[in-house]
Every structure is written in structure tokens, then in C-alpha cells.
Amino acid sequence: DISPTAVAAARGLEREDSRFRMLHRPCGEMGEALDGLEVQGVLFDIGPSNPQVDSDGFRITGDAPLDLRMNPHQGVSASEWLTGTSVE
């Protein structure tokens, strides 16, 4: 997963169960991340979660800037992108 909210929850699961391992990477890098590891199962977190949708950056109402990124530490927010683009 790349969402900081989901990563924090998964880190808690890692502490509770030694069989669980959180990979803070995009799904497209799974092959590289799992190379050489013995894997007995995979749990995918695909798409936004309620905490992400409830965050200010995913709301289209209110005073917070529009973000829409799954990982707010990568790339530019939607508000930044919209400010820097034109209709053409």
C-alpha cells in the first residue's frame, strides 16, 4: 500500500502477528518486493478506504485544498495541478 493511513494500520498488524508483513510500495512493484521470499498468501488493499475518503484532501466540500492522492508525499495535489494547468 502507499497510503500513510493504511500503512499505519498495517504496521499495527505486523506488531500483533509475525506472519504479517507490510510492503509500503505500489502493487506494480510486488514482483520485485517479493523476490526470494516464501509467500503463503497476499492481501491486497485496492482503492481508497473510508478514512481516505473522509480526509479533507478527498472531500470536494469544505475549506481544505483538494488533494486526491493516495500518498500525499508523492506528486502534486489536485489543487496544485489545477492551478498550474489551462483549458487549452
pLDDT digits (tens, 9 = 90+) for 4-40: 777 888 899 999 998 888 887 777 888 898 999 888 8
Is the pLDDT at 41 greater than 80? The verdict is: yes
Helices (H) and strands (E) counted in the chain, each on its own, are 4, 0
Cell of 15: 506488531
In sequence order, what are the residues at sequence separation of 6 or more whose Cβ sits closer than 8 angstroms to the Cβ of residue 13? 20, 22
pLDDT category at 68 given cuts 50, 70, 90 is: confident
| pTM for this prediction | 0.51
What does the pLDDT average to over 28-55?
80
